[in-house]
Structure 1
Amino acid sequence: MKNLQMRFAALLLILCMIGASLAGCGQPTPTLSPAQPTSPDSSISSVSQTDSSPASDTRLFTDSLGRDVEIPADIQKFAPSGSLAQLVLYGLAPDRMVGWTSKPTDAMAQYFDAKYINLPTFGTFYGKNADLNVEALIAANPQVVIDVGEVKANMKESLDALQQQIGIPVVFVEAKLETMGDAYRTLGELLNLPEDAKKLADYCDNTITDAKKYAAAIPQEKRVKVYYGEGKTGLQTNPKGSFHAEVIELVGGSNVADIPITSGAGGNEISMEQLLLWTPDVIILGPNSIYQSIGKDALWQDLTAVQQKKYFEIPNGPYNWMGRPPAVNRIIGVKWLGNLLYPEQFKYNMADEVKTFYKLFYHYELTDEQSKELMANSTFAKQ
């Protein structure tokens, strides 16, 4: 009896297939079959279909790791994978972001439209700080998860495993400081927002191109020696080659901390003796460091930069302009630090530049007072 049932089912299947080929049977056949490879240059393919739609509602997207990921043809809801992706994607499509990996703090909230602040928070998807709340993610119902940033070891395997775990397509778009424009163009293709992406990409490209041109004109003997300090003592530093310090070299500065990079998010811990040997011309300090007390601290008085009041606090709001996280916030940092170190080359009106950047990337209209407040400690140290 069981064999008879199986044969009957098989017969029905064959009849349906024949009927579909002759009369249409109400369902179109896929435009691609597994035996027909697509062109390697094609990032959009008709690879699946549903009973409710005669046309394909998915496409293949080849991400920056070379992974072919099946994604919805029309993405209206996405989740960022971490703080860097969140920052980059907010600039392009805030209305399509279903939530935060980390909710903006009260201090940061003033730079975001209130309608976005109360989006759900579902945590960071992977990495050493992963704290993903899968239930919150599922409730937010994204069509795809987008990761943005630098390529890391074993990343392909990590994203494949994440995709399998959550059952949602996961794609990666590489974004370095000097290729942020390319990243936005790729994201524009992914989200079908090419014109919006082009505005952001062009701004990034023009900033980087100008910085390289201006820096190239600065003779080596006139390059400013810069120390970048963070932490409660100011003696945590981001060495040359660190993501968080890339802006220094890009604008023609010389990072005095030319030392191996230690692991960890806080940078290298150094001694005051080492800093004295480096003799920086300019000191830039991260937010919540020692800017307010450095001028009165006896430990720092032997440094010429302190004596000449050439120490500055990196603007911070909603994110640190030098790179925490190391995302598109560094683009305005390029203009700020270039103008600070070499005002004759980087001839920017920074008040205007900051307003333009915040409008483009944060969708926020800065007031004159807010612009001044952001850079209050980043021009010349107060007497």
Structure 2
Amino acid sequence: MLSRRALIASAVAAPAALAACERRATPVPAGGVLAAGQPAALLIFALAPERLIGWPRRPGPGALALLSPLADRPEVGALASGGRPIDLEAAAALAPALALDYGDVDTDSQALAGRARAALGAPYQLIDGRLTMMPEALREASRLLGVEAVGEARAGDAERLLGALPRDGGPSFYLARSGDGLETAFPGALAVEALETAGWTNVAVGGTGLGRVTAEQLAAWDPEVIVTQDAGFAAAAAGQPLWRQRRSGAPRRIVVLASRPFGWIDRPPSVNRLIGLAWLASRDPLGPPDPALAATVAGLHERLYHRRPTPQEMLGLLPRVLA
């Protein structure tokens, strides 16, 4: 069996010029595009990074180091969720050729779209952010951006990964968010959509969306696996029986997923979740990363973020399982 370091080196060493070729081969029309929220910003960046006016929430230095230099855009704020609020007058002053929102298509989002179209003097498109709709979302966004070839390639990635997911037989899990781990996502929330689509069972019941729970509730739910994208929480929880021990006395596993440059299953709930799907569709998501997963992650990172991670960077990108 290859060591973790050796498998990563082999995965990222091979040239992967597909994304670069797609970008060079596709003519991109002029005009900046405004992202209504962080999910939309990442969708735009994945397809046509040079078109993104700015970030609703600018990634931190550690995240920017893992992205193409084209990610070095200012923070302009968000019309929707996922960043510092910006009002419609300030958004109009940015003179976008197009505005995109990616996520919920509920009544509030549709009302915002109507107000924005009137105020911006530019098209404003609301795109369905459900995970199962990602291939269609990529195609729709790429048509609006004039990069259909890129969008079709990324839609193909999404279709293959969604098709490769197991649909049942996964472990019971609890998603630990926040520094103390007691914020979670209830069934059906975007933050757990990838895990639930792969047949994992969310133990957090009794709520909707995101919410706070108690240590007593967690103990009663008794999940097999804790999933987190917060390395600080994982380090703190590693020695605590609440998180590491099941009622039977058996050890409980903690899966630590990367949070930079973006999360694998959430933060934001956008096309970054393709990398989480690759992990969930891998031979053994709760085992040591294998060369196939490392290669897939490196390739997706390059296609979505326009920069291939180095072997050293990959060491911090693959999942860790605390058993």
TM-score category of the 2 structures, normalised to the smaller one: 0.7 to 0.9
Aligned mates of 1:343, 1:269 — CA distance in 2: 26
Distance (whole Å) between structure 1 residues aligned to residue 144 and residue 257 of structure 2 = 33
Shift of 1:296: 1.7
| Local SS of the residue matching 1:370 | helix
Residue by residue over 1:295-320, the C-alpha shift from the partner in whole angstroms, topping out at 9 and shown as x without a partner, is 22254454369953511212111111
Give the direction of change, closer, same or farther, for the CA distance of 1:321–1:340 in structure 2 (3 Å limit): farther
> In structure 2, the residue corresponding to 1:311 is in which secondary structure?
strand
1:380 partner letter: V
2:118 matched to 1:171?
A: no
CA contact (8 A) 2:172 2:200 kept: yes
Alignment CA distance shift 1:380-1:298 (3 Å):
closer
**What is aligned with 2:299?**
356
On the 8 A contact 1:82/1:125 being kept in 2, the answer is yes
1:304–1:311 Cα change, 3 Å = farther
1: CA distance, partners of 2:215 / 2:315: 32
Counterparts in 2 of 1:242 and 1:291: CA distance versus 1, 3 Å? same
The separation in 2 between residues aligned to 1:259 and 1:289, in whole angstroms, is 27
- 1:90 pairs, out of 45, 56, 81, with 45
> 1:280–1:305: 8 Å Cα contact kept in structure 2?
no
Using the TM superposition, name which of 233-242 and 354-363 deviates more.
233-242
Higher relative contact order at CA 8 Å, sep ≥6: structure 1 or structure 2? 2
Shift of 1:132: 1.2
Alignment RMSD: 2.8
Please state how far the C-alpha of 1:341 moved relative to its aligned partner.
5.7
Amino acid at match of 2:301: Y
- The normalised TM-score by structure 2 is 0.81
Tell me the alpha carbon deviations over residues 229-287 of structure 1, each in whole angstroms, 9 at most, x when there is no partner.
1122212211111110111211121111132215xxxx222222222222211111231
How many percent of aligned residue pairs carry the same amino acid? 22
Greater gyration radius? 1
Partner of 1:155: 109
Per-residue CA distance 1:51-93 (angstroms, 9 max, x = gap): xxxxxxxxxxxxxxxxxxxxxx955321111101001110000
Q: Distance in 2 between matches of 1:309 and 1:348?
A: 26
Pick the aligned partner of 1:190 from 107, 130, 144. Answer: 144
Which of 110, 113, 123 does residue 68 from structure 2 map onto?
A: 113
**1:8-47, Cα deviation, whole Å (9 max, x unpaired):** xxxxxxxxxxxxxxxxxxxxxxxxxxxxxxxxxxxxxxxx
Note if 1:337 corresponds to 2:292.
Answer: no
Task: Report the secondary structure of 2:301's partner residue.
Answer: helix
Partner of 1:104: 59
Return the letter of the residue paired with 2:162.
I
Which residue identity lines up with residue 167 of structure 2 in the other structure? A
Q: Give distance in 1, aligned partners of 2:274 and 2:87.
A: 31
**Kept in 1: contact 2:49–2:70 (CA 8 A):** no
For 2:322, give the aligned amino acid: A
Structure 1: tracts of 5 or more residues without a match:
1-72
User: For 2:145 and 2:236, how far apart are their aligned partners in 1?
Assistant: 47
Report the Cα distance in structure 1 between the residues aligned to 2:243 and 2:164, rounded to whole angstroms: 35
